Amino acid sequence: MSKKVVIIGGVAGGASTAARLRRLDEEAEITVLERGAYVSYANCGLPYYIGGVITEKEKLVLVTPQKFLERFNIDVRINSEAISIDRESKKVTVKNRETDEEYNLDYDVLVLSPGADPIRPPFKGIDQVPIFTLRTIPDTYKMDDFVSNNNPQSAVVVGGGFIGLEMAENLKERGLSVTVVELMDQVMITLDREMAQYVHYELYRHDIELVLGDGVDSFEKNDAGKAVVITQKGNRIETDMIVLAIGVKPESQLARECDLELSPRGHIVVNKKMQTSDPCIYAVGDAVQVTNYITEKETAVPLAGPANKQGRIAANNIAGETEEYEGVLAAAVVKVFDITVSQVGLNEKMLKKTDIDYDKAYLHPMNHAGYYPGGNKLAVKLLFEKNKGKVLGAQVLGGDGAEKRIDVISTVIHFGGTVFDLEKLELTYAPPFGSAKDPVNMAGYIASNIVKGKMRSYHWHDVDELLEQGIFLMDVRRDDEFEVATIKGAVHISEFEMRQRLNELPQDKTIYAFCQEGFRAYISQQNLVQRNYDILNLNGGFKTYVMATASQEKLKEMTNNPPFRIIF
């Protein structure tokens, strides 16, 4: 007797489950219920349709119901909403949203892939202003039609996460002036703040206004009929349209109503086989709670990659194979105008909440050989265990190839690798693509030196406190670099003059050295250590210090002042 499998929800998780299950079981009766009109579409591409990068509507639709039927013999029912689940009798009540007809559908195995909904708080005045969210193709068409037909000149994007920044960029490309309002003191809270500063810098370079550390209080229309965003600090921002991009919440109401176990945040609890508290019901995608690959703590990560893998694993187990989902590393990438922002694993904010004894390394390598035209700098932060060197996470921002380096580091983390493995990796090299010492190798070299004690360092956040203690701070950069800017109180002794000016260096106190990026100060450090000087190197150099400590006003100034163009 063939197995009846009903899948509620399509897109990444549900569609992947259905297609994989068919490849494993030709006899299974597979039915996919999709509440909307599209079962498989490029939801990550939606902002780029609004920006005009993707110009054809049909490019957004990946697989139609007809294609599912023809290729996989899968019954896809669009505009069909599952409104209740009877676990005891194994029935799903379905409502046809076009006819309002209701009917029951039997199942042997049920898969929940309901996804997540954009958060839409009940702000005062929210129904009085043109508000948009972006999750589905109809959302995209609605926003695109508004921009095309109403000729808005300005937009406020509420939320500085992935979707918020993609929308800011694409609305800017459509010719609007854009303001991003973010409750936290940084955009992209999955980055550590000093790394998010590079994103702030890039946004300012493209005339995006940032309102940070100030959330929305309410909306209203003024006497001229324009929408006004009123922030919690009392700022009033006039605008022609508003995009809410403040995060998503799991769409787990069906699971709640049929009494499946949920997490405190409302995510569906699953085991490693993707089974819910009812072994006949599986769940995948944005609505589920999974574990972090490194900490093994509960988490939820609404990304397409994990959803696809979870769908595949659920299908394998439904078909009689045994496979477990090992957890998420949350590898992610986003384009922000001219830079790539990528990350994987734990950030420092997360590590501070654990008992892991960690350390970090900063570097600013070129994305490919410096002598080959078109090269750009990368900003890299690597996090690792202090004693064993196990890689815990990384953030890489900058030119082409940032995501390639994160992919390599993600692989090393997956296999429990260390910074010593990063040193030894053999990676492809040709001048247009990389360097003989790839940035991944360079991160490994620096981190390995730290773990082995060959490079004693201090960090950007230590500087102010150290200066209050009256330390000997030494700038080893060139004269022209020192004249543009330095850290207040620094003594300038160029690396090239070091050997001739040894008599100016204290032997009875620690020397705190720095250069632009860290390498030249490291060379000076190795020189002086052999002469029995006690010397520390500023990890990541002056670039990291400046970017990490710059106010938003300073960042704006840096974008318009070539000598202060720190990176990118």
Q: Which of 220-225's residues contact partners 24+ apart within 8 Å by CB, and which partners?
A: 220/124, 220/125, 220/128, 220/129, 221/125, 221/128, 221/129
What gap in Å lies between CA 37 and CA 499, rounded to an integer?
73
Of 387, 515, 396, 535, the closest CA to residue 457 belongs to 535
In the block, residue with structure tokens 């990176």? 567
SS (H, E, C) 163-179: HHHHHHHHHHHCCCEEE
Look up 515 and say whether it is catalytic: no
CA nearest to 515, candidates 561, 568, 465, 457? 457
Q: Are strands 227-231 and 236-239 parallel, antiparallel or unpaired?
A: antiparallel
Tell me the CA distances in angstroms from 95 to 76, 102, 133, one per residue in order. 14, 4, 25
- Assigned token pair, 84: 């209740």
Which residue has tokens 């994305």? 367
Q: In one letter, which amino acid is 209?
A: E
Three-state secondary structure call for residue 8: strand
Which residues are within 8 A (CB) of 550 and not within 5 positions of it... i.e. 6 or more apart? 197, 558
Which H or E run contains 388?
none
Whole-angstrom distance, CA of residue 392 vs CA of residue 346: 6
Residue 118's identity, in one-letter code, is P
Of 100, 27, 32, the residue nearest 63 (C-alpha): 32
Question: Computed from CA positions of residues 222, 225, 226, 230, in that sequence, does the dihedral angle turn out positive or negative?
Answer: positive
Rg of the chain over all Cα atoms, to the nearest angstrom: 27
Do residues 364 and 378 make contact, with C-beta atoms less than 8 angstroms apart? yes
φ and ψ of 525, to 5 deg: -60, -45
Residues 6+ apart with CB under 8 A from 93: 82, 83, 84, 85, 86, 102, 103, 104, 105
CB 390 within 8 A of CB 418: yes
User: What is the token pair recorded at 101?
Assistant: 């007809």
List 44, 258, 280, 515, catalytic entry: 44
- The residue type found at 142 is K
Q: Facing residues of 24 across strands?
A: none
Half-sphere exposure of 553 (CA within 13 A, CB side): 0
Q: Among 545, 368, 354, which residue's Cα sits nearest to residue 459?
A: 545
**Tokens representing 364?**
């600013």
Residue by residue, DSSP assigns 94-137 as: EEETTT--EEEEE-SEEEE---EEEP----BTGGGS-EE--SSH
Catalytic residue ranges: 44
